[in-house]
Amino acid sequence: MKVTMKDIAKEAGVSVATVSHVINGTKNITEPKRSKVLEIIEKYHYVPNSTAKNLRTQSTKTAAMVVSSFTDSFVNGMIYGVEQKAREMGYSLLLVNTNEDEEYEKKSINLLYSKMVDGIILSPTSNDINYLNDFTESMPIVLVNRYNPVVKNAPRVTGDNFRVGYDATSHLIQHGHRNIGVIYAVPNVSTTEGRLAGYRQALEENGIMYDEEHLELGYATVEGGAKAAETLLKKEKDITALFIQNDLMTIGVISKLKELGLKIPENIALIGFGDSPSAAITAPPITNMVLPPQQIGAKAFESLSKLINGETHVENIELPASMVVRKSCGCE
């Protein structure tokens, strides 16, 4: 049998209230009793049942983070950031992986809603998150990375994806490229859309016609990248530069280009996204656009804790993008 507070109280010859008070320091308990209680607790390795505590206090000191993938290094960075901050603030973290499955995402949010957690950090699978409005009034939710302005009462923390697309494209244009292809992974999410808007704007400012045929969608895997590169380059033979929005895909693209006998950056210049360690080590090293995932995660948890503590309006946060120049863009 599991030992409860009642057992401790009985053995120490005090009431359960007293035991509770010595554990939580909610009232001054004088010496003979106090240490007796502590001693019995020690003796039985007693640890309070948090299920009961949760029910009584209506709080679990647990937050959930719902992400669409575990294998993505950017997502991993965000998780790390949230983890750190949560730990720092005395929270546990319930991680849920939706695997880019919208239905599973809804189900998970519903499950989480049953008071198992004090709040949710969500990186949505798609743009289609109207359903969240059923929850945001009674459950603290913050959106991270991806978002959709239709959701009310849920602050967001994101990266400056417009800038990611804009700077990458501008950089390539400055190096003389005018036919720039884009390989991307997830349609209909704010991140992709932001980057494409930046791409478009950069083209426009330089008097280059936007051509939808220069965009290629693929799966966010090594093979997906290789395949996307192949079909795009077969279709659009004048492309001289590629902006690839996912680091796994970049690896696939590189291998495909080698296979096709195309030299990087001489025949095709490359700019990738993310800061996975392999970027510096491939041949050639890849120039990347980067957003700070850990920071995004940390800020997200901060926002969430504000919400949990009853702050009524928490503002949106957008973190800046930067560029790590290596060899693949033909700079040096």
Residues forming the site for a copy of itself (CB under 8 A) = 2, 45, 47-52, 54-55, 60, 62, 70-71, 76, 79-80, 83, 92-97, 110-111, 113-116, 134, 138, 221-222, 248, 251-252, 254-255, 277-278, 280-283
CB of 132 to DNA, least distance (A): 21
Residue with tokens 């980057």, as numbered in its chain: 195
CA 172 to chain centre: 28
Q: How far is the CB of 303 from DNA (least distance, A)?
A: 25
Q: How far is the CB of 9 from DNA (least distance, A)?
A: 8
Of a copy of itself, DNA, none, which one sits near residue 92, judging by CB under 5 to 8 A according to partner kind?
Answer: a copy of itself
* Smallest distance, a copy of itself to C-beta of residue 29, A: 22
**Among DNA, a copy of itself, none, partner that 312 touches (CB below 5 to 8 angstroms by kind):** none
Query: Which distant-in-sequence residues (6+ apart) come within 8 Å of 234 by Cβ?
Result: none
Kindly list the strands in the beta sheet with 241-244, ordered across the sheet, starting from the edge strand earlier in the chain.
215-217, 180-184, 241-244, 269-273, 287-290, 322-324
Phi-psi sector, 264: left (phi>0), alpha (psi -120 to 50), beta: beta
Question: Which residues lie below 8 Å from residue 283, measured CB to CB, with a gap of 6+?
Answer: none
Nearer to a copy of itself, 56 or 237 (CB): 56
Q: DSSP of 152-206, one letter per residue? A: -S--EEEE-HHHHHHHHHHHHHHTT---EEEEES-TTSHHHHHHHHHHHHHHHHT
- Indicate which of a copy of itself, DNA, none lies near residue 16 (CB less than 5 to 8 Å, by partner kind): DNA
Is the peptide bond preceding residue 187 cis, with omega within 30 degrees of 0? no
From the list 10, 11, 25, 32, which residue makes contact with DNA (rule: CB under 7 A)?
A: 32
List 4, 62, 76, 255, residue binding DNA (CB under 7 A)? 4
Between residues 113 and 178, which has the closer beta carbon with respect to a copy of itself?
113
Partner in contact with 28, chosen from a copy of itself, DNA, none, beta carbon below 5 to 8 Å by kind: DNA
Residue 310 CB, shortest distance to DNA, in Å, is 15
Q: Establish if 17 lies at the interface with DNA (CB under 7 A).
A: yes
Nearest CB to a copy of itself, comparing residues 93 and 228 = 93
Stretch that binds DNA, among 18-26, 103-111, 270-278, 310-318 (CB under 7 A): 18-26
Q: Which of residues 55-74 bind DNA (CB under 7 A)?
A: 55-58
List 317's β-bridge partners, or say none.
157
Residue 48 interacts with DNA (CB under 7 A): yes or no = yes
Q: In terms of Cα–Cα distance, which of 89, 75, 135, 58 is closest to 302?
A: 89
The answer to whether residues 182 and 215 touch, using CB atoms and an 8 Å cutoff, is: yes
Q: How far apart are CA 258 and CA 261, in angstroms?
A: 5
Residue 26, binding choice from DNA, a copy of itself, none, Cβ under 5 to 8 Å by partner class: DNA
Distance CA 183, CA 285 (A): 18
5 near DNA (CB under 7 A): yes
Q: Select from DNA, a copy of itself, none the partner in contact with residue 248, using the beta carbon and a kind-dependent cut-off of 5 to 8 Å.
A: a copy of itself
**Any idea which residue has 């949010």 for tokens?**
109
Residue 201: partners with Cβ closer than 8 Å, 6 or more residues away: 162, 165, 166
Residue 49 lies near DNA (rule: CB under 7 A): yes
| Binding partner of residue 252 among a copy of itself, DNA, none, CB cut-off 5 to 8 Å per kind | a copy of itself
Got the DSSP string for 271-323? Answer: EEES--GGGGTSSSPPEEEE--HHHHHHHHHHHHHHHHTT-S----EEEPPEE
Residue ranges that bind DNA, judged by CB under 7 A:
2, 4-6, 14-18, 20-21, 23-24, 26-30, 32-34, 48-49, 51-53, 55-58
